[in-house]
Amino acid sequence: MTQTLARTRQDDGFDLTEDERDLSAMVREFAEEVVAPRSYEADREHELPLDVVAQMGELGLFGLPFPEEVGGQGGDYMAFCLAVEGLARVDQSIAITLEAAVGLGAMPVFRHGTEQQKQELLPALLAGKALAGFGLTETGAGSDAGATRTTAVLDGDEWVVTGSKQFITNSGTPITSHVAVTAVTGRTTDASGRERREISTIIVPTGTPGFTVEPAYDKVGWRASDTHPLTLDGVRVPASNLLGERGRGYANFLSALDEGRIAVAALATGAAQGCLEEAVRYANERVVFDVPIAQHQHIAFTIARMRSRVHTARLSWHDAARRRDAGASFKEQAAIAKLVASDAAMLNARDATQVFGGYGFMNESLVGRHYRDSKILEIGEGTSEVQLMLIARSLGLGVQA
């Protein structure tokens, strides 16, 4: 039995360095000993366990892909994604908290912030002592971010921000420092003479008058992840809170989105892996008509297909991450990884729940929680349909949005 689980847990990473293997082992141990025992309670209570977040910070997980000179661990995106995958195996809510905190919270400040913004915000973010959100999505603006309705108008030396955002991760925790909000800051004319919205990003600190974090959503999955709608009613912040170049807010977000797809693919792979491990364990333990159900060909073949999905998903995101870290083009590979891995997570969650039968339908069951959690993986960071569109366009097919 121990040998079977060891084979199930292999990382498929013949390309991993010794340091990467050590990191994966460390995160696995932390996930099993600290995260997993709290997962059901956190899911049931719809509450992010901040003590677990603090321990993640102490391990350096929030600083993994950042250079040491800004307080990071000096790692790369591969290392970060290995950590995300390892956490997602037992708790997707914790994994997405890390993924969003780094990719949508700290990374925009590191990439586009002024020296003052970096000095003020990055130390706490990279230590896991603070979280930050990225306010892009609105009622009519998600994949079509160009439809943004939130506005930011310069009044003297202040931006006045008005609008609303929805589905914003890490936006309402007690340690949330700010939300970077995309807003229309003017109008521009493109080369063809068409008028377009000028979209910029404004840093809005929590506690700013007029900035309201609305009650958290009652979600189907990721229930311990902090997610809120936001209202901005004439919010005033200094003009220096502009994050990046004026008018580059949407473009800067798109670059972050490509990276985010790799991380979400890693998260989805971790979920698929967790379902696989649980299915192997249960199939060997559950005895029906005097034999373990693992000896039934249908069950065995179902789990074999689960294994093949994990293998394919992991190879896919590894490829995208390696390309990103090497400075090569990775947009198409990120879309493929996101598509393949989210499919794997959803299908493995369904199959594992079926293997477990009635026990899999209980919220106490890890596979039952994965079944609820995994659906959002086909929606967030660009829907599966968006990934197909991106892949088609990379082939020279003129598909329209």
Q: Among all residues, which ones are annotated catalytic?
A: 381
Q: What's the CA gap between 138 and 141, in Å, rounded?
A: 5
The neighbour count for residue 160, using CB atoms within 10 Å, is: 18
Give the torsion through C-alpha atoms of 215, 130, 109, 270, to 10 deg: -80
What residues contact 318, with CB distance under 8 A and at least 6 apart?
12, 13, 15, 78
Q: How far, rounded to the nearest angstrom, does the alpha carbon of residue 355 sit from its chain's CA centroid?
A: 28
